[in-house]
Amino acid sequence: MAKFRRNHHNKTKGVAGGAVTKVGIFAGIMALLFFVFNRSSSSDSDNDTQSDPIVIKYEEPSEVNLALSDNYWPTSTTGEIIEHLNYTLSYSEKHEQAEWVAYRLTQQSIKKPNVERSNDFRPDPRVRKGSASPRDYFGTGYDRGHLVPAGDMNFDKRAMSETFYMSNISPQIRNFNGGIWRELEENTRDWAFQNQEIFVVTGPVLTQGIREKIGDNQVSVPDMYYKVILDVKEPEKKAIAFLLPNEISYKPLSSFAVSIDEVESITGIDFFHQFLEDDFEAELEAMNDISLWEIDSKRQELRIEKWNKRK
């Protein structure tokens, strides 16, 4: 290349200049293609060492925000609390899943037009030592069951996508996840709509009955799950909880209703200790009156006739 810059005569200079230009353009094109290839190769790879390998472009955030401030959080037995945009969780490294997830559910959020389900299961980059991986579930026979349901967060793309962090996922029997667990989730959205706003805490029971561990990260498979629901709006403040075995069920959803006190005694978690006065907390957490929570009987029929038969 240096000899062309000496300009021995005009002909050489013209030929050399054209050659330099062509070589430069060709080199530039090759460099660009190499960069694009490397970018696309790395983003398409399923690399579990990346904490968040999927990049999603979101629309403008919705005005809906379902996250709870810290005075509404349950106690954490692990000390690792993670805040996402619309929910908070307490992560258990020992079991590689959340011991609880907590958020509000409102009539406003439910009335929003639904976005498309994202299905972008991925590790949670905020978990200190790394969360479970989607690969932990492959070939196990267990569903990647949501704690915060995707259906509770389908009012915008980012809210929906955050429910697919593996910190929010727990191994569930297929016909439990798509059966009575689904029925409870759908009824919970009904209750939020009817009561304007409710507080929801959901999780696996990790203190007893661990069935087995799966995957390289040794994710615990719980025998039981809970959901705690609180309505503090006047005039009829009320609370209810559910304890459901991780199995197919033909029983009415109402048969699994319990008090919050019972869930607390099993899990060792104190749910509403910070924002309820002691006497009022004791009264609400002792409640177990399912008649205050209308259950859609058609969903039970659909579960038994169709959802429980899902292959």
Residues 250, 207: Cα–Cα separation, whole Å: 26
Provide the β-strand partners of residue 101.
Answer: 89, 202
Tell me, what amino acid is at 293? Answer: W
Length of the chain counted residue by residue: 311
Catalytic residues, by residue number, are 146
Residues 111, 106: Cα–Cα separation, whole Å: 9
The structure tokens 């590790």 sit at 123
At a CB cut-off of 8 Å and minimum separation 6, what does 179 contact? 248, 249, 303, 307, 308, 310
Provide the β-strand partners of residue 204.
Answer: 225
Cα torsion through 221, 48, 169, 155, rounded to 10: -170
Give φ, ψ of 221 to 5 degrees: -105, 110
**139 Rama class: left (phi>0) / alpha (psi -120 to 50) / beta:** left
Residue 15 sits at the vertex; the CA angle it makes with 9 and 19, to the nearest 5 degrees, is: 135
- Report the relative pairing of strands 197-204 and 238-245 from DSSP bridges: unpaired
Residues 97, 172: Cα–Cα separation, whole Å: 12
Residues 161, 266: Cα–Cα separation, whole Å: 31
Task: Examine residue 125 and say whether the peptide bond preceding it is cis (omega within 30 degrees of 0).
Answer: no
Provide the β-strand partners of residue 226.
Answer: 203, 243
Closest to 102 (Cα-Cα) out of 189, 259, 229: 229
